[in-house]
């Protein structure tokens, strides 16, 4: 059997310290998962169920690659996030078993055309043009949970050109990683290769061509992404 057009390789992520790669299936993202960030976006943080949106897997870029400033926006924001990579799938996974699905963790950026996202929110329209554009998901190398464990606390931060912008702690997640997986797997059957961007702490803001975004998560890694 062949394909009627040329088939492509799956998007994949580097694994730190290994020549092998992690194949990426889907990218799920959690909205407003840190209280301070919810407030800065004009919402009251609460324990309402988390909500999710998606990016296509081919929006993923290695952190070493420059981030091309996207078209049709004058307000592109950085959002540093803990990225969870699933090595196993599951449906209706209880939070007590949820970490069994996790293969590893990485530092990622949920790049956002904030102006377009704002217009879509106002109009009650979907967010794709604001969130799911090409190259909107720069991501560092994956670190296996078998090596680093499952981080539950630790600094998460982002600087632009050495100036501190975002700063928080993983312990401030409104919905923890196991709780997020529990919710997400009640909506979608999760599959090996799925990624979850778990939300961003306060301090999101604009970038411009020439900027360098430096971001890190204690115990997971650091990335540097140049805006071009
Ligand atoms: Mn985000």
Question: If DSSP states are collapsed to H, E and C, what string results for the chain?
Answer: CCCCCCCCCCCEEEECCCCCEEECCCEEEECCCEHHHHHHCCCCCCCCCCCEEEECHHHEEECCCCECCCCCCCCEEECEEEEEEECCCECCCCHHHHHHHEEEEEEEECCEEHHHHHHHHHHCCCCHHHHCCCCCEEECCEEEHHHHCCCCCCEEEEEECCEEEEEEEHHHECCCHHHHHHHHHHHCCECCCCEEECCCCCCCEECCCCCEEEEEECCCEEEEEEEC
Going by C-alpha positions, the residue among 138, 130, 75 that lies closest to residue 106 is 138
Task: Decide if pLDDT at 37 tops 90.
Answer: no
C-alpha span between 161 and 211 (Å, rounded): 6
Q: Which pLDDT tens digit goes with each residue over 184-205?
A: 999 999 999 999 999 999 999 9
CA of 174 to the centre of ligand 1 (A): 13
Domains annotated for the chain, with CATH where assigned, are: 12-226 (3.90.850.10)
Q: Which pLDDT tens digit goes with each residue over 38-95?
A: 888 888 877 788 999 999 999 999 999 999 999 999 999 999 999 999 999 999 999 9
CA of 157 to the centre of ligand 1 (A): 14
Q: Residue 216's pLDDT band (boundaries 50, 70, 90)?
A: very high
The pTM score is 0.97
Q: Which pLDDT tens digit goes with each residue over 99-150?
A: 999 999 999 999 999 999 999 999 999 999 999 999 999 999 999 999 999 9
Asked if residues 97 and 181 have their Cβ atoms less than 8 Å apart, the reply is no
Q: Which pLDDT tens digit goes with each residue over 205-214?
A: 999 999 999 9
Cα distances from 55 to residues 23, 138, 196, in angstroms, run 15, 12, 10
pLDDT score, position 48: 83
CA of 5 to the centre of ligand 1 (A): 34
CA of 197 to the centre of ligand 1 (A): 7
CA of 222 to the centre of ligand 1 (A): 18
């Amino acid at each position: 059997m062949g394909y009627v057009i040329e088939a492509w390789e799956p998007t994949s992520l580097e694994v730190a310290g290994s020549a092998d790669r992690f194949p990426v299936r889907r990218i799920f993202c959690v909205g407003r998962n840190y209280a301070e960030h919810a407030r800065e976006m004009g919402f009251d943080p609460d324990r309402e169920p988390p909500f999710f949106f998606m990016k296509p897997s081919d929006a993923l870029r290695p952190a070493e690659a420059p981030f091309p400033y996207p078209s049709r926006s004058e307000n592109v924001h950085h959002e540093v996030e803990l990225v969870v990579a699933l090595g196993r799938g599951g449906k209706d996974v209880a939070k007590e078993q949820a970490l069994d699905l996790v293969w590893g963790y990485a530092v990622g950026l949920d790049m956002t055309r904030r102006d377009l996202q704002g217009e879509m929110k106002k109009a009650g329209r979907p967010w794709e043009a604001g969130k799911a554009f090409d190259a909107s998901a720069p991501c560092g190398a994956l670190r296996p949970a078998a090596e680093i464990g499952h981080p539950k606390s630790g600094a998460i931060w982002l600087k632009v050109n050495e100036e501190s912008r975002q700063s928080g702690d993983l312990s401030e997640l409104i919905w923890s990683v196991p709780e997020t997986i529990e919710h997400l797997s009640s909506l979608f059957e999760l599959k090996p290769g799925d990624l979850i961007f778990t939300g961003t702490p306060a301090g999101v803001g604009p970038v411009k061509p020439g900027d360098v975004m430096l971001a890190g998560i204690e115990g997971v890694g650091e990335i540097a992404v140049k805006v071009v």
